[in-house]
Amino acid sequence: MDSLNKPMGVGAILDRSFQLYRKHFATAFLLLLLFVGPFYLLQNLLLYNLSTVPLLPQSGDSFAESLNLFVNGNGGATDEPSPGMILFILLVLPLYAVLLAPVMLSSQLQLVRTAIEGGEVRFAEVLRKSFARYGRQVGNTFLYGLIVVGLLFVIWIALVIAIVIIASLTVGVGAGFLALGGDPFGGSVAFIIIIFVVYILTGLGMTACSSFFMIRFGFYLPIVTLEEGGQAIRRSWRLTRGSFWRIFAVYLILSIIYSVFSLGAYALLIAVFKMSLIGQLINIALILLIAPFYTIPYAVIYYDLRVRNEGADLERYLQTSTGMPPAAGQPVYGESARAGDVYGVSGGSLIGGAAAGATAAGLEPLVPSRADVEEASADGAEAGSAEESPEARDAEGGSREETNTSPAPEDTDSPKAGEPTSNDD
């Protein structure tokens, strides 16, 4: 069982993701080929004019010409976007993001869930479970998109206002450099440096703000797919509290790896196959080969967040699902566990383990609430003070009679009949 029952750092998350990717590579690749492969094919159909792209590489095409065709699309170098690009950006991409991307990620979530439960990862079963909550997945994805786009719009407006204010101050500072230094060249250099710094800071600020909200709200899909109950986006915000920088570091590393691999592979394909259809197909296959290493960590991070926040509940869920008893002395992780509790020792753990069997399928918190515990205690006290049954009274009366009719112990100091006493002569 690929159990995920301990809090993990950045390196451990990447290592566990790679282990799952290597162990279940075929299923993960086929799932992405099913959901992402057609999207990449449609993208190439809309962005490139296939009448100008040969099936096989042509000896007369240079690397620079093929790269220019790849960058500009449709073989043109005009500033105006092509109709295919407009159609792809405004229609195909949003529809895919709302209708198919949630199912694609759900398939990876179901794959990881089956793996950590110790079950057999089968393509057909994982695919069936991926569509089990399709309506909720699409609805929450649409709501997530509206929230993120709205927040990004507000952030963009705030940054534009800040840039205008900073630019106004920068013009004054540049004029001051010119007046004080008396060197127009030196003042121009200082002005360019200030503009460059402002541009970099603006880009970093936009990236940080957008990443923050996308990560904090972005774990709604595992909640919809693997848990019961609603308010997935709100729960995602609570679940990721205090974990933003760790998640950001994981995806920063993955983005660097993915970018280096994909761009390097594409440059190699252009050099070998030029801008040909066979080269494009090989490029799509290579991208899909590494894509699971970008999607599987999404599920691993989700389970890590649950361990950190509800570690005892998740551990009991895994033990209930696999039928394995908890290891004695194993520490409880998460805020829901009391300090010092260990499985097999704490009474609270035993109560929570009993509740796990009823709600494990929904991955809901399995520790009973304070009201439930108080109610159970009150019921026990009431049952203890209730009137005894007739059988109990009869048994008690019989024991008392047996005690009263039992012979008294002999007094060894009393003389027996006919035996002379000490006063006889």
Q: Write the pLDDT tens digit of every residue in 91-120.
A: 999 999 999 999 999 999 999 999 988 889
Number of Cβ atoms within 10 Å of the Cβ of 75: 15
List, in sequence order, the alpha helices (H) in 48-133.
63-72, 83-87, 93-99, 101-116, 123-130
pLDDT tens digits along 147-160 = 999 998 998 888 88
Contact 7, 307 (CB under 8 A): yes
Q: CA-based angle 402:403:407, to the nearest 5?
A: 95
- Does residue 296 or residue 358 have the better pLDDT? 296
Residue 101 CA to residue 131 CA, distance in Å, equals 12
Q: What integer is the mean pLDDT of 208-220?
A: 92
- Using only the alpha carbons of the chain, give its radius of gyration: 36
In this predicted structure, what is the pLDDT of residue 310? 78
List, in sequence order, the alpha helices (H) in 117-219.
123-130, 134-181, 184-217
Contact 316, 366 (CB under 8 A): yes
- Does residue 298 or residue 81 have the better pLDDT? 298
In this predicted structure, what is the pLDDT of residue 248? 94
Residue 25 CA to residue 19 CA, distance in Å, equals 10
pLDDT band at 359; cut points 50, 70, 90: very low
Asked which of 24-28, 53-57, 225-229, 299-303 is least confident by mean pLDDT, the reply is 53-57
In this predicted structure, what is the pLDDT of residue 30? 93
CB neighbour list of residue 76: distance below 8 Å, 6 or more residues apart:
82
In this predicted structure, what is the pLDDT of residue 92? 92
In this predicted structure, what is the pLDDT of residue 362? 43
Residue 216 CA to residue 221 CA, distance in Å, equals 12
Contact 344, 319 (CB under 8 A): no
pLDDT band at 41; cut points 50, 70, 90: confident
Residue carrying structure tokens 């936009």? 206
Model's pTM, two decimal places? Answer: 0.67
Helix or strand (DSSP H, E) at 257: helix 244-273
Residue 373 CA to residue 352 CA, distance in Å, equals 11
pLDDT band at 208; cut points 50, 70, 90: confident
CB neighbour list of residue 42: distance below 8 Å, 6 or more residues apart:
88, 92
Q: Is pLDDT above 70 for 351?
A: no
In this predicted structure, what is the pLDDT of residue 48? 73
List, in sequence order, the alpha helices (H) in 291-413.
292-322, 347-359, 370-384, 390-405
pLDDT band at 60; cut points 50, 70, 90: low
Inter-CA distances, 367 with 4, 87, 229, 360, Å: 19, 51, 16, 11
Q: What is the tally of helices (H) and strands (E) in the chain?
A: 18, 0
Instruction: Tell me the average pLDDT of the chain.
Output: 73
Q: Is pLDDT above 50 for 329?
A: no
In this predicted structure, what is the pLDDT of residue 2? 53
